[in-house]
């Protein structure tokens, strides 16, 4: 049986070229969007792409589908897709996003600590003002969700002299000073100079960062979301940002994306908005291609148990 793969991604041709060099007998259809490949994937066994960019229509157009390799850590759009047969194996890109996600978290933390936006406005206006400079040293960061990304972030936080608390069912993890279970999230939030969400989005984590969790934060606390938009109660967050009940928020993900121009978040001075770029990097292909090569080889050889980052299958 000929193995056929549909790849949907901005750099799909780059991935396709590398996989063709490793597996010259594999047929690969590459496109930037699902529309680019949907008419060619009738014989495909495999789909690769960002989980949120694999629509139900593409799955339905792939009747021989056996495996989806997500190019993202989060696979919630696939898990929750009604038209996806439960027998289809799903693997993720878990493990490659630690560096870029950690740096995104620090972008937010350093901006709020040093007020970089005000400094840049002063520069633009040729205005000299020496502002207070808040340190990250000895601040407490509470990370909601403990996995590979969180462990990389925790190690970097420790290098800055921060205290790191994890919210997880795990008893311990590298780089963490303390670990508390999820049912004590409000207690942990009460300690947070920075409360960072990195949990996967599931039915159980919907609005995990609730109004009561936000209310438990100190007024100087900053909430950072590099998980998924619906992990936080966005309306409750907006209300507390408007009222100054928390100091600010750094948001890379939102309930609706792209974030509508009508969203109140755009006009709040204590919010930093980035367009869901936390997982991106200038070396993404280099980071993920070893995983793709390994998994395609295992799939071709029928070694399904050797697929890395198995989510379902």
Residues noted as catalytic = 228, 257, 276
CA distance 37 to 292: 19
CA distance 91 to 47: 11
CA distance 15 to 34: 16
- The three-state DSSP-derived secondary structure of the chain is CCCEEEEECCCHHHHHHHHHHHCCCCEEEEECCHHHHCCCCCCCCEEEECHHHCCHHHHHCCCCCCEEEECCCCCHHHHCCCCCCCCCEEECCCCCCHHHHHHHHHHHHHHHHHCHHHHHHHHHCCCCCCCCCCCCCCCEEEEECCCHHHHHHHHHHHHCCCEEEEECCCCCCCCCCEEECHHHHHHHHCCCCEEEECCCCCCCCCCCECHHHHHHCCCCCEEEECCCHHHECHHHHHHHHHHCCCCEEEECCCCCCCCCCCCHHHHCCCEEECCCCCCCCCCHHHHHHHHHHHHHHHHHCCCHHHCCCEEEC
């Amino acid at each position: 049986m000929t193995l056929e793969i549909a790849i949907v991604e901005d750099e799909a041709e780059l991935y396709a070229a590398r996989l063709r060099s490793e597996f010259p007998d594999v047929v690969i259809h590459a496109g930037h969007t699902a529309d680019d490949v949907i008419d060619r994937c009738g014989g495909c066994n495999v789909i690769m792409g960002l989980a949120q960019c694999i629509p139900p229509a593409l799955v339905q157009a792939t009747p021989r589908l056996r495996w989806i390799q997500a190019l993202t850590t989060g696979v919630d759009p696939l898990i929750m897709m009604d038209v996806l047969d439960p027998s289809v194996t799903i693997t993720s890109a878990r493990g490659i996003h630690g560096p870029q996600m950690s740096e995104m978290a620090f972008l937010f933390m350093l901006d709020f600590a040093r007020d970089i936006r005000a400094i840049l406005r002063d520069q633009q206006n040729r205005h000299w003002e020496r502002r207070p400079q808040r340190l990250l040293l000895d601040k407490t960061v509470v990370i909601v969700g403990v996995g590979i990304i969180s462990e990389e972030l925790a190690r970097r936080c420790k290098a800055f002299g921060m205290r790191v608390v994890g919210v997880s069912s795990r008893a311990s993890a590298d780089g963490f000073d303390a670990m508390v279970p999820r049912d004590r999230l409000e207690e942990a939030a009460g300690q947070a100079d920075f409360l960072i969400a990195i949990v996967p989005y599931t039915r159980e984590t919907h609005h995990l960062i609730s109004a009561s969790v936000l209310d438990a934060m100190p007024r100087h606390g900053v909430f950072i979301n590099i998980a998924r938009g619906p992990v936080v109660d966005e309306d409750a967050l907006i209300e507390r940002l408007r009222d100054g009940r928390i100091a600010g928020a750094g948001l890379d993900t939102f309930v609706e994306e792209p974030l509508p121009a009508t969203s109140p978040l755009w006009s709040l001075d204590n919010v930093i908005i980035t367009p869901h770029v936390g997982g991106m990097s200038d070396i993404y292909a280099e980071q993920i291609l070893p995983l793709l090569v390994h998994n395609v080889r295992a799939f071709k050889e029928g070694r399904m148990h050797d697929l890395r980052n198995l989510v379902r299958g």
